[in-house]
Amino acid sequence: MHGFAYKNGSLHCEDVDLSALVQEHGTPLYVYSAGTILDHYTRLDQALEGVEHEVAYAVKANSNLSVLRLLAEHGASFDIVSGGELFRVIKAGGDPAHCTFAGVGKTREEIEYALKQGIYSFNVESAEELRYLDKVAGELGMVAPAAVRVNPNVDAKTHKYISTGKSENKFGVDFEAISDLYARAAEELPNVKLRGLQMHIGSQLTSIKPFVEAVEKVTPLVKQLKADHGIEFWSIGGGIGIVYQDSLESGSVDWWDSKSEQDRPLTLAQYGDALLPKLKDLGLKILLEPGRAIVGNAGVLLTECLYEKKGSAKTFKIVDAGMNDLIRPALYEGHHEIVPVKEPGSERVKVDVVGPICESGDFFCQDRELPDFQPGEVIALMSAGAYGFVMASNYNSRPFPAEILVEGAEAKVVRKRQTLDDLIAGEA
């Protein structure tokens, strides 16, 4: 479910007409629906009702301050991966005591900053990092709260760049090595308090099976760690996939109802229903780290068609957004549904939608049947709320697009479009 739909012949975000937004703010333009973000957050929170839990939003998915503030105001915790993300959470009014810090390469500076801010847990990814954490904490006269990330060696069956729970991935500590690591830490590392266990097997998982497999595999381990070391939480990570194909239709209740049970993508309720019975009697606080499931379908990238170029082999629609603004198609062959902002007729054409960047990988779709649209018209790249703006770059010296947050009939600029002067700020 999401807040994007055609009304009176024009695509709207909640009650705001996107063509009016484009007139005022130009393109490329990211637009987010606050209602959708909160709806997804609340559904996930409710899906885990019945067990003590926290929904720690994965800041990396969309770290705009206003998005973080919205979630902080509604009680979210946060999963961060850098000192920069912690800084953003604090600026947005989030509570460091409800932050977990993930990532394989935390620097001394980041560790010190997070220790001083009093975060809930360092989610540590190697024995070496745990030792270093102990050293830094000791030097500051502090005790670092920590959890080790277990790599359960489960196949998440997602794109290889976003699969993280197999032994060949760089993430976490081998399942078989965890017990020994906790035992050694208890003896040798006085400045670390191991208070939990963490795992995350990958992103954009569209089946419940790998989640269930990982939870079942790791359950005996958390029970043992609780008995031996008194751990208090288990973070089962993020990774819940969203609808990318048909993502405009999927916003309506009818669409969900019209799908047979097995054709429906994983819903937040199904996720909760499948996992809750396995988690609720462990006596542990359960943490989730969802990113995409909360913000993915809550955002679009609007871009104007500049030219239509008919080559001998293909028709190219050249738009003013590029892979520097939304890199998912280039990097992961990510599919984003493309729809014109002006409600289209039934005519469809097979096209490549491409950006202005000097790279062949700069495309948003290839050989796709789309409703026809012409130069001067604006299209929406759907489901761009997660890993969209946050992965943008200034490649080809293109300024960052603006970001807008919509709440009902109100649209606020939550990040100004970069100017040419911004582009060179700090350079000599």
- The two structure tokens encoding residue 322: 């590029």
Residues that bind ligand LLP (CB under 6 A): 58, 61, 79, 102, 162, 200, 203-204, 237-240, 289-293, 328, 332, 386-387
Question: What's the alpha-carbon Rg for the chain, to the nearest Å?
Answer: 22
CB of 384 vs ligand LLP, minimal distance in Å: 10
What angle, 0 to 180 degrees and rounded to 10, lies between the N-to-C axes of helices 65-73 and 34-47? Answer: 40
365 is catalytic: no
Question: How far, in Å, CA of 4 to CA of 388, rounded?
Answer: 17
Minimum CB distance to ligand LLP smaller for 110 or for 289: 289
CA 83 distance to own-chain centroid: 18
Minimum CB distance to ligand LLP smaller for 279 or for 330: 330
292 annotated binding-site participant: yes
Question: How far, in Å, CA of 79 to CA of 240, rounded?
Answer: 15
Please tell me whether residue 396 adopts helix, strand or coil conformation.
helix
328 annotated binding-site participant: yes
388 annotated binding-site participant: no
Minimum CB distance to ligand LLP smaller for 44 or for 115: 44
Maximum CA extent, the chain? 71
**Angle (nearest 5°) at CA 127 between 123 and 130:** 50
Please report the DSSP string for 134-180 in residue order: HHHHHHTT--EEEEEEEE------S-GGGB--STTSSSSEEGGGHHH
CB of 268 vs ligand LLP, minimal distance in Å: 11
271 annotated binding-site participant: no
332 annotated binding-site participant: yes
Query: 299 — phi, psi (to 5°)?
Result: -140, 150
Burial class, 276, CB count within 10 angstroms (exposed 0-12 / middle 13-18 / buried 19+): middle
Minimum CB distance to ligand LLP smaller for 35 or for 239: 239
- How do 10-13 and 4-7 pair as beta strands? antiparallel
Q: Which of 13, 99, 305, 358 is catalytic?
A: 358
CB of 82 vs ligand LLP, minimal distance in Å: 12
213 annotated binding-site participant: no
CB neighbour list of residue 75: distance below 8 Å, 6 or more residues apart: 45
CB of 60 vs ligand LLP, minimal distance in Å: 6
359 annotated binding-site participant: yes
402 close to 23: Cβ distance less than 8 angstroms: no
Please tell me whether residue 298 adopts helix, strand or coil conformation.
helix
CB of 225 vs ligand LLP, minimal distance in Å: 19
CB of 239 vs ligand LLP, minimal distance in Å: 4
Binding site listing: 239, 289-292, 328, 332, 359, 387
Binding site listing for pyridoxal 5'-phosphate: 239, 289-292, 387
Binding site listing for substrate: 292, 328, 332, 359, 387
Residues annotated as catalytic (active site), given as ranges: 358
